[in-house]
Amino acid sequence: MKGKVLIFLLMVLWMLTIFSLGANSFQDQQNFRFRIGRLILDFADSGSANVSIDDYGLGYVLFNEYSYGNNGQISFFLPFGQGKGIFSIGAFVDGWEVSEGFASIDAFMITTFRFNFDVPEDIPLEAVIPDSIGFVLFLEGRTNAWAHGALPVGYPGYASASGSFTTELISASAYISAFFPNSPPYFDVYDYDPEQGYKRDAVIKTVDITSGQGEYVVEFSGLAATMNFNAMSVGSAYARTGIVVLSGVDPLGIPEVGDNEFVWSKGEPPWLWIPALAKVVTGFTPDDYTMQWLAEKIDWHVSPSLPSTGLYVRMYPNGYENTFIFPRNRFEDANYEEPRFRYFLIFDMPEFLPATIDGGFGKRQLIMTFNGQPVHAANIEIFFPATATNHPFLFGDKGSGNPPDEGDYFVFGRPLWAAKSPNWFYYYWMVAYWGRTDIRLAVNVPGGWYEDGKPYVYVGNDAYLTYSMRLFHIENRPNALGIIKPFITFADTLTIKGIHTFIYTVEHELVHKCHYETGIYPSTDPLTDSDGDRLNDYWEEGHFLDPNTRDTADAYNRFGDPTPGDLQCIADIEAYGKLLQKEELWRKDWTDTGLQKGSPPPSDKFPWVYGSTNKNYSIYKDLLTAIP
Amino acid sequence: MKRKLLWIIGGIAVIIIIANQLDIGPYRPRFPIAQRTGVPYPYMTVEEENLFAEIRDIGLKRDLSRIDKVRHALLENHPAILIAASLALGRLGTKEAIDDLHALQARLASGSEVQPFIALALARIEAERDYPNVTDENQLQRKMKRFLQAAKVSVSQIHKGALWYAEQLKAKRYGWAPFEVQVLRQAAEIAADAYQRGVKDAFKIVGLNFSLDYVAQLKVRLAQMSKEQRISWLVDILSKKQVARMEENYLMQALADEGEGASKAIIAKLKEMKLDRDKYHYVGFMLLFRTLTCIGDPDAIPVIQSFSNEPDWLGYYAEQAIKIMKEGRRTVRAVDY
């Protein structure tokens, strides 16, 4: 008798194990709310079931982790943040001691995945705002029907049991019907679907998030029933769902506000790392086989493609860096504690950065694919390091000091040898002044200058940093005779940076060069240049400057600048005009210190700021763009 | 043949070394000189411009209680602020600033125009540290020698530099005065301090010819006047100007450095000039207006405002000055004065 009791207890334990497949994970994870950049993801479960148990049997049913012993309607709800995505039903009847019993459950459950988009408040007008989130939905499940008889010794028994479930991707069922003529011997009858492991499938889904939130609902329905006489029987069904989302970069990142930005390395040869991670979001711990099954189907690419000698994938299993770099292939990381696949896409160049801006920088998309089909494309931006010198030699004339490859290194005010130019100069020159050999770089001198009579201008080594330039307009006042006369007046300032500072510096110096070559200056005769500002008195009068003051607008010399203010004033007026023509080139500024890097100022302060309004427009509508 | 060539090269090298030691030959500046039309310094914010003026004041007044403000200014980016802060630390003459100046030296590009001013400050600190209060000729002699040694320039090089710079100005090739000329100006200031302390022959010591540079000469001249005389002379000379060249910036700065007393004198002068308008050129008014923007005395605003409806350039410059003062700005007219 003791042996029989032991067998019975073991069977009950085994049966309960079958009922509660995967349920252990509930205790490990309390709140399921995931934040991946701007994506906040959580899910909820709700379900209901009809329970039917007859009076003679000792049957009861399980619905998820709860057990019920009464007839009637039952329901449950796990709110957002506590959902698990697990559908688990079972019916059990213990026909011990020649009793007869019946138990069944007919259940329905939905799991709602909710995708919240944490949209920033101030978005630049031209920013690309993600309007959907793509993900891989996977479902897996199993059913079971089992009976054991006959009980007790000497009596025949019979039993039937079934379990089934249906979802949008998979369905399964198991059924047994058995007659036990006598006992001993005891024997078991069972049916599983599938026989081992899980039935599983996955599909790509997309949810609209234009309103800032989107949901996807997974439905489960199932039936578990059993009846027996002088036997023990179980019918059960278990199914669960989860999703795989792109997580290495922010899947809903907006690079225009500083998300998902990557910079090529500073060394030679340069390389670029892009973390290509996929996160498996579940309310349970997925098993090894499931992780592998998903990982084999996931792949990555960047579009438009980046130049590289060969794309490599570096794997980071379990949080520490593997010492191997593998050629592009698939590697999965079945990290049970934090289920996700860790990849790094590594692009490398043989010697130098890509030769052109469009070749290796700017807006791209990191695309996650599943079975070769795109799942989600995250917007990313790729920059070059401004002060590094790992650009290629465009013209191959090493040692010449010619732009854009090289600049002149100054010793005692004279260019003594050629030195490689920083990346900002190389790429800015390519974008804004392609072919202009009269724009040279001074590698170790700040500012920028033009030396009288030289065929070129110099750009200093800081012509990419923030700069505050002066703007002028005309004010009319009566002269001594009461006749209205125009006066050049300092009106506003414009704070610029990146490629705009470069353009301003170049244009300011080119204007000086042009003024020298066209004879606007220098006026060397002291009789016709009263204030010594190198401009002829008559010319000054004709262009609304004071011939008796070297800094008419009082905008320059009070800051220590030794160059006559009037000379700077006319160069700045024209430089502003040229800068306005090239304003849009900020779109090509892909330096890591430039106009597109990081979180930009609010859209009304971009791409530059006027002092009069502290916004990107001036209160003066008549700012001079050419010498009046 | 090879041996002959080696002898020739060696001989030339020896001649160059000897010539260097004896200061024979042309002017060889210690720091590179930029003679060019460069990108102007960035326009300063109100805070930057006021800091610029304040740190210059701290140096002039030898106000050690505010040295931290000057040291902190060395972290700024605007070259003019860095120049003003370096010169102020030189005037304050305390060794605690030496590390800060070396750090700035390392941070800036080798070709930066601030570099000579850092070297100048370091030399001045050495001289001030060893001889803070000069009261006799011997001490002044030793202080000057210490200063020139620390600056690593000879009297001959200073004179050559000053002559060369005068030539450049004559040819309207503008730029910062070379390091040697800046040394001469600082030496004039050291001598002027000694003169004020009773060293009568202060300007004849060491054999420096201060008259070779306009600014050094101005310092010497003003040092020999009382405060009242200085203000009166500067107000008078500025009011009579008919053209504003580079030199006038130093006159304005010298007058502004006299502080509140100068402001009162200018205001009185402007009132007088208004009554006798035809006697003065508008440039004289303009220079006094701009000097008032340097001092930042709010009492000056109504006086300047009374000229804003004047026709032509006079009204233009009055409004220009009012705008600066109403923005709460204090200007600096010559950072290297």
User: Is the pLDDT score of A254 beyond 70?
Assistant: yes
Predicted local confidence at residue A313, as pLDDT: 60
Q: What angle do CA A347, A353, A356 make, to 5 degrees?
A: 115
Shortest Cα distance, chain A CAs vs residue B316, angstroms: 8
Of A465, A550, A568, which is closest to B40 when you measure between CB atoms? A568
Predicted local confidence at residue A344, as pLDDT: 65
Query: Across the interface, do A485 and B312 touch by the CB < 8 Å criterion?
Result: yes
**Given CB atoms, is A564 within the 8 Å cutoff of chain B?**
yes
B11 burial (CB, 10 Å; 0-12 / 13-18 / 19+) is exposed
pLDDT band at B171 (very low <50, low <70, confident <90, very high): confident
Residue of A nearest to B29 (CA): A412
Of B43, B176, B249, which is closest to A557 when you measure between CB atoms? B249
pLDDT per residue over B22-59, tens digit each?
Answer: 667 788 888 887 666 689 999 999 999 999 999 999 99
Contacts of B88 in chain A (CB under 8 A): none
pTM: 0.85
Q: What is the mean pLDDT of residues A201-219?
A: 97
- How big is the A-B interface in CB pairs under 8 Å? 165
Query: Across the interface, do A445 and B109 touch by the CB < 8 Å criterion?
Result: yes
Of A444, A549, A554, which is closest to B110 when you measure between CB atoms? A444
Whole-angstrom CA distances from A343 to A137, A139, A282, A295, B315 are 20, 24, 20, 11, 71
Predicted local confidence at residue A26, as pLDDT: 32
**Given CB atoms, is A558 within the 8 Å cutoff of chain B?**
yes
- Both tokens of residue B332? 């600096």
Q: What is the mean pLDDT of residues A215-238?
A: 94
- Measured over the CA atoms of residue A71, residue A72, residue A78 and residue A84, the dihedral's sign is positive
- Both tokens of residue A278? 């996929």
The helix or strand, by DSSP H or E, that contains position B138, with its residue range, turns out to be: helix B137-151
Largest CA distance in chain B: 85
Range from A410-419, A613-622, B45-54 carrying the lowest mean pLDDT? A410-419
Predicted local confidence at residue B270, as pLDDT: 97
- Among residues 316-345 of chain A, which lie with CB inside 8 Å of chain B? none
**Given CB atoms, is A621 within the 8 Å cutoff of chain B?**
no
- Residues A108-117 as b or e (16 or more Cβ within 10 Å = b): bbbbbbbbbb
What is the distance of C-alpha B294 from the center of its chain? Answer: 15
Dist. CA A568–CA A469, nearest whole Å: 11
Dist. CA A291–CA A288, nearest whole Å: 5
DSSP SS3 for B223:
helix
Contacts of A610 in chain B (CB under 8 A): none
Q: What is the mean pLDDT of residues B275-285?
A: 94
Predicted local confidence at residue B35, as pLDDT: 60
Closest of B148, B216, B143, B209 to residue B177, by C-alpha: B216
A414 burial (CB, 10 Å; 0-12 / 13-18 / 19+) is exposed
Query: Across the interface, do A446 and B112 touch by the CB < 8 Å criterion?
Result: yes
Half-sphere exposure of B204 (CA within 13 A, CB side): 4
pLDDT per residue over B186-238, tens digit each?
Answer: 999 999 999 999 998 999 877 899 999 999 999 999 999 999 999 999 999 99
Shortest Cα distance, chain B CAs vs residue A444, angstroms: 6
Contact criterion met (CB below 8 Å) for A340 and A352: no
Range from A178-192, A406-420, A432-446, B198-212 carrying the lowest mean pLDDT? A178-192
Mean pLDDT of chain A: 86
**Given CB atoms, is A534 within the 8 Å cutoff of chain B?**
yes
pLDDT per residue over A33-62, tens digit each?
Answer: 788 899 999 999 999 999 999 876 667 888
Of A449, A524, A548, which is closest to B39 when you measure between CB atoms? A449
Best of A502, A515, A557 to mutate (most B CBs within 10 Å, chain B): A557
Predicted local confidence at residue A153, as pLDDT: 63
pLDDT per residue over A103-149, tens digit each?
Answer: 999 999 999 999 999 998 878 878 889 999 999 999 999 999 999 88
Contacts of A564 (CB under 8 A, 6+ apart): A531, A532, A533, A534, A535, A550, A551, A556, A557, B174, B246
Predicted local confidence at residue A334, as pLDDT: 35
pLDDT per residue over B130-155, tens digit each?
Answer: 998 898 999 999 999 999 999 999 99
Shortest Cα distance, chain A CAs vs residue B242, angstroms: 7
Predicted local confidence at residue A277, as pLDDT: 80
Query: Across the interface, do B42 and A469 touch by the CB < 8 Å criterion?
Result: yes
Of A462, A558, A611, which is closest to B331 when you measure between CB atoms? A558
Query: Across the interface, do B111 and A410 touch by the CB < 8 Å criterion?
Result: yes
Q: Which position has the higher pLDDT, A164 or A279?
A: A164
Q: What is the mean pLDDT of residues A535-564?
A: 92
Query: Across the interface, do B243 and A548 touch by the CB < 8 Å criterion?
Result: yes
Query: Across the interface, do B316 and A477 touch by the CB < 8 Å criterion?
Result: yes
- Among residues 417-436 of chain A, which lie with CB inside 8 Å of chain B? none
User: Is the pLDDT score of B335 beyond 90?
Assistant: yes
Dist. CA A343–CA A346, nearest whole Å: 9
Shortest Cα distance, chain B CAs vs residue A138, angstroms: 57
**Given CB atoms, is A415 within the 8 Å cutoff of chain B?**
no
pLDDT per residue over A55-95, tens digit each?
Answer: 766 678 888 878 888 889 999 999 998 898 999 999 999 87
Residue of B nearest to A478 (CA): B311
Query: Across the interface, do A461 and B109 touch by the CB < 8 Å criterion?
Result: yes
Interhelix angle B214-223/B179-196, nearest 10 degrees: 0
Residue of A nearest to B171 (CA): A524
DSSP SS3 for B68:
helix
User: Is the pLDDT score of A283 beyond 50?
Assistant: yes
Q: Rounded to the nearest 5°, which phi and psi values hold at A496?
A: -125, 165
Range from A146-160, A263-277, B217-231 carrying the lowest mean pLDDT? A146-160
Check residue A418 and report its DSSP letter: E
Of A414, A478, A489, which is closest to B311 when you measure between CB atoms? A478
Name residue A173's beta-bridge partners: A164
Predicted local confidence at residue B22, as pLDDT: 63
Q: What is the CA radius of gyration of chain A?
A: 38
pLDDT band at A412 (very low <50, low <70, confident <90, very high): confident
Start-to-end CA span in chain B (Å): 56
Query: Across the interface, do B40 and A572 touch by the CB < 8 Å criterion?
Result: yes
Contacts of B50 in chain A (CB under 8 A): none
Shortest Cα distance, chain B CAs vs residue A488, angstroms: 10
pLDDT per residue over A502-529, tens digit each?
Answer: 999 999 999 999 999 999 988 766 678 8
Best of A497, A554, A569 to mutate (most B CBs within 10 Å, chain B): A554
Q: What angle do CA B157, B159, B160 make, to 5 degrees?
A: 65
Contacts of B293 in chain A (CB under 8 A): 558
Closest of A53, A29, A58, A33 to residue A43, by C-alpha: A33
- Among residues 18-77 of chain A, which lie with CB inside 8 Å of chain B? none
**Given CB atoms, is A448 within the 8 Å cutoff of chain B?**
yes
pLDDT per residue over B60-97, tens digit each?
Answer: 999 999 999 999 999 999 999 999 999 999 999 988 89
User: Is the pLDDT score of A557 beyond 60?
Assistant: yes
Contact criterion met (CB below 8 Å) for A15 and A66: no
Closest of A215, A31, A241 to residue A133, by C-alpha: A215
Shortest Cα distance, chain A CAs vs residue B129, angstroms: 28
Predicted local confidence at residue A595, as pLDDT: 93
- Both tokens of residue A133? 């989130």
Best of A559, A570, A578 to mutate (most B CBs within 10 Å, chain B): A559
pLDDT band at B21 (very low <50, low <70, confident <90, very high): low
User: Is the pLDDT score of B269 beyond 80?
Assistant: yes
Predicted local confidence at residue A183, as pLDDT: 65
Cβ count within 10 A of residue A605: 16
Dist. CA A192–CA A236, nearest whole Å: 10
Query: Across the interface, do B38 and A448 touch by the CB < 8 Å criterion?
Result: yes
Contacts of A553 in chain B (CB under 8 A): 320
Contacts of B176 in chain A (CB under 8 A): 562
- Both tokens of residue A480? 């001594």
Predicted local confidence at residue A180, as pLDDT: 86
Predicted local confidence at residue A435, as pLDDT: 92
Predicted local confidence at residue A140, as pLDDT: 95
Q: Sort residue B75 into left (φ over 0), alpha (ψ -120 to 50) or beta.
A: alpha
